[in-house]
Amino acid sequence: RHDISLVELQVVQREYGISVDALMAKAAQLNVITRRRYQSYFKKKNALPQFKTAVEKSLVDDEHTNRFERLVYRALASEVISTSKAASLLNCSVEKVRDNLNLL
Determine contact, residues 98/83, Cβ cutoff 8 Å.
yes
79 and 37 housed in the same domain: no
Specify the number of domains making up the chain.
2
* Boundaries of domain holding 19: 6-56
pLDDT value at position 103? 53
Q: Is residue 50 part of a domain?
A: yes
Angle at 59 between CA 58 and CA 61, to 5 degrees: 105
pLDDT (0 to 100) of residue 44: 92
Q: Is 34 a domain residue?
A: yes
Judge whether 43 lies within some domain.
yes
CA distances from 7 to 21, 44, 83, 100 (A): 13, 16, 46, 37
- State residue 104's pLDDT score: 42
- Whole-angstrom Cα distance, residue 54 to residue 73? 40
- pLDDT tens-place string over residues 55-90: 888 777 766 678 898 899 889 888 899 999 999 999
Q: Pick the closest to residue 74 from 52, 100, 95, 47 (CA basis).
A: 100
pLDDT in tens, 19-51: 999 999 999 999 989 999 999 999 999 999 998
**So what's the pLDDT on residue 6?**
85
Average pLDDT, the chain: 87
Asked whether residue 52 falls in the same domain as residue 10, the answer is yes
The predicted structure's pLDDT at residue 1: 60
| SS3 (DSSP) at 91 | coil
User: Which pLDDT score, from 0 to 100, does residue 48 have?
Assistant: 92
